[in-house]
Amino acid sequence: MSILQTLAREFAPDPSAPLADLRAHAYARARQRGVPTPRDEAWKYTDLRGHLDGEYVVTADPPHGAPATAPLLDSTPHRLVFIDGVLAPDVAAPALPPGVRLRTLAAVLAADPASLRALMARHASEDADFFTALNMACARAGVVIELAAGCQLETPLLVAFLHTSAAEQLFSAPLVVVNAGANSQLTLIELHYGEAAATNLATPLTDLTAGAGSVIEHYRVQLEGAAAVHIGSVQATIERDARVGSHSFAFGGKLARVEICAKLAAPGASVVLNGLFAVAAGQHIDHQTRIEHEAPHTTSVELYKGLAAGDGRGVFRGQIIVRPNAQKTSSRQASHNLLLSPFAEIDTKPELEIYADDVACAHGATVGQLDDAALFYLCSRGIPAAEAHALLTFGFTQEVVEQVAFEPLRRLLAARLAGSADIPLPERIEPAP
């Protein structure tokens, strides 16, 4: 049974339900597009065959308890937790300051569905890819976050989607929507975590709109279980003098992919894209980024780093597009990758499309192994070979990790890397308490 047949049974839209017309249109769009294959340029290095088989279900049962190993849940008082696609009943909605409005997707669909009509129509348009349209057709769990003009939420907000091994072949399509008003500020931690034996398929979509002069720092942490499939998307629209920082960290899943798109829509808009992935044996992790400079005097900086061990495979494709009227654009992109095994593979493909003549753009990409000279130097100073490898690998990751301003997350990243059997790092890197 195909994924579409399974979902048609599970998600047959009720004609009387809110936005049923848009959901039906989105589902039709997904059917029209079809599951992507390596013949599609964006999927050249990622083959979904065999990963979407089986009959998926959507649990309607009361959620199970949060996995005991789920990280970051106590790192901030402002949090919303979903377990196996259902809002956790024992996690109260956070008490937020004036100017911050947080509603679950279910609440918005019940009381104010019209507020989502434009967003859903945009993501189910003719340009929508298969998984974006599928999310619009199927989204049930999620959150809508709105910041009033001038509101600055100083404490990070955590939205966690947790998957347990009790819910077999679970399909979920989480939707996170952020609308930041003029001169507002938000730090959002988006966590996707699964128990080791969880067999879920997740297709999350995050939509960020940064109003004039606003700042959004978005940390996306993917720690799905070893048997999970995770195919996500982040779409950001950045207005005049606004800034978005999008930081993606991917470690889990049998197959995981995320597409991050940023549109610099007005002068003064800027974006920072940072990412780090670590691929162990049997894993496949794919990052696709696209930055569209649509206005003059816009800035983008992008740094992605990857580690691959065993027979793991990593993919990075980064597009930068400078439109004809986007003069005075400044854009820098770098992709650096480290192979820790002779059987590992990382494919990296930076792309520049420049249609303006007064710009400063640069990109670079490397794939290599640890420096033999550096290893020899450390070993000659009495450091055991295994620890020398660990020190150099840890140092390679720090350029990205050190840019994480949220201390609990920075410690989690170090602990996660240090705890990998395939990617050993120095024992002195301690996990968060």
Mention every residue, 6+ apart, whose C-beta is less than 8 A from residue 45. Answer: 38, 286, 313, 315, 317, 347
- Higher pLDDT residue, 197 or 166? 197
- Tell me what pLDDT residue 215 has: 99
Query: Measured between alpha carbons, how far is 164 from 179 in angstroms, rounded to an integer?
Result: 30
How big is the CA angle at 124 (ends 123 and 126), to the nearest 5 degrees?
A: 110
Q: For 60-69, 192-201, 339-348, which range has the lowest pLDDT when averaged over its residues?
A: 60-69
CB atoms within 10 A of CB 343: 13
Q: What is the mean pLDDT of the chain?
A: 91
Q: Find the mean pLDDT for residues 360-371.
A: 94
- Higher pLDDT residue, 404 or 10? 404
pLDDT for 406 beyond 80: yes
| 267: exposed, middle or buried (Cβ count in 10 Å: 0-12, 13-18, 19+) | middle
Band the pLDDT of 177: cuts 50, 70, 90: very high
Band the pLDDT of 63: cuts 50, 70, 90: low
Band the pLDDT of 241: cuts 50, 70, 90: very high
pLDDT for 424 beyond 60: no
- Torsion angle of the four alpha carbons 264, 256, 172, 431, in this order, in degrees rounded to the nearest 10: -90
Q: Which of 125, 103, 115, 121 is nearest to 176 (CA)?
A: 103
pLDDT for 85 beyond 80: yes
pLDDT for 269 beyond 90: yes
Instruction: Give phi and psi for 393, each to the nearest 5.
Output: -65, -45
* Sign of the torsion angle spanned by Cα atoms 127, 211, 137, 198: positive
pLDDT for 10 beyond 70: no
How does DSSP assign 205-262, residue by residue? Answer: EEEEEE-TT-EEEEEEEEE--TT-EEEEEEEEEE-TT-EEEEEEEE---SEEEEEEEE
Ordered by start, the domain boundaries in the chain are 3-266, 371-433
R_g (Cα) of the chain, nearest Å: 21
Sheet of 157-163, strand order: 86-87, 78-83, 157-163, 185-194, 215-223, 243-250, 270-279, 299-308, 330-339, 360-368
Q: Which of 159, 151, 337 is nearest to 234 (CA)?
A: 159
Strands 100-104 and 142-147: antiparallel
- Tell me what pLDDT residue 93 has: 65
Contact 231, 203 (CB under 8 A): yes
Mention every residue, 6+ apart, whose C-beta is less than 8 A from residue 285. Answer: 250, 253, 255, 256, 257, 277, 279, 306, 312, 313, 314, 315
- Tell me what pLDDT residue 428 has: 39
- Tell me what pLDDT residue 394 has: 84
Query: Measured between alpha carbons, how far is 1 from 19 in angstroms, rounded to an integer?
Result: 27
- Tell me what pLDDT residue 94 has: 73
pLDDT for 59 beyond 70: no
- Tell me what pLDDT residue 431 has: 38
393: tokens are 């690998």
Tens-place pLDDT, residues 295-342: 999 999 999 999 999 999 999 999 999 999 999 999 999 999 999 999
- Tell me what pLDDT residue 13 has: 61
* Sign of the torsion angle spanned by Cα atoms 51, 54, 60, 64: negative
Band the pLDDT of 421: cuts 50, 70, 90: very low
Strands 299-308 and 215-223: unpaired
Q: Find the mean pLDDT for residues 257-285.
A: 98
Band the pLDDT of 165: cuts 50, 70, 90: confident
- Higher pLDDT residue, 140 or 59? 140
Q: Find the mean pLDDT for residues 187-207.
A: 95
Q: Find the mean pLDDT for residues 130-148.
A: 94
Where is mean pLDDT largest: 206-220, 370-384, 391-405?
A: 206-220
Percent of the chain at pLDDT exceeding 90:
73
429: tokens are 């890197």
Query: Measured between alpha carbons, how far is 8 from 28 in angstroms, rounded to an integer?
Result: 10
* Sign of the torsion angle spanned by Cα atoms 433, 400, 372, 376: negative
Contact 412, 71 (CB under 8 A): yes
Q: For 1-5, 77-81, 411-415, which range has the lowest pLDDT when averaged over its residues?
A: 1-5
